[in-house]
Structure formats: C-alpha cells, structure tokens
Amino acid sequence: MLHANDLLPIAFTLPSLDIVVRNVTEVQERLQRPIRGEELSACLGFDDAARASEPAFLAALCRRSGSQLLLEVNN
C-alpha cells in the first residue's frame, strides 16, 4: 500500500489555498499555537491559467492562517 499524498504537489490555485488554509487553521486551533509549514520541491507544474506563483501562494497561506513558513535550502 502506497501513501504519498502528503508529498504530492498541489496546484497553486484559490480552491487549493482555501483547503490548505482550512487545514492549517484547524491544526493550529487544536494545538493552540502557530505552526510552521515547509515548502516542498515542486518537480512538476500544473497547466492552469488561474494558478498563482509558489511564493504568492505561500505568502497568502501564512497571511490568511497566521502560520509561519520554514524555508529549507537544499542542494
């Protein structure tokens, strides 16, 4: 059985942002503290004209959810 949906890329669209904000907000409310999310390496893109850039998507996520962003610099 393969479980990889936590590592699969998401489309940087408003509907995706709404889902991620809702999920992050729920976790923060349960923990009663802000969490830090980490950006994943995006190795494939989505062909969607309504798509935001990754930095704009992550900035909106942090702004709307009150979460923080952990930036990892890898090779």
Calculate the dihedral angle through the C-alpha atoms of 17, 19, 24, 27, rounding to the nearest 10 degrees: 180
Question: According to the model, what pLDDT value does residue 26 have?
Answer: 96
- Residues 18-70 pLDDT 10s: 999 999 999 999 999 999 988 766 666 666 656 788 889 999 999 999 999 98
| Phi, psi at 28, each rounded to 5° | -65, -40
Confirm if 34 and 66 have CB atoms less than 8 A apart: yes
Nearest to 35 by CA among 71, 67, 3: 67
Residue 59: the pLDDT is: 94
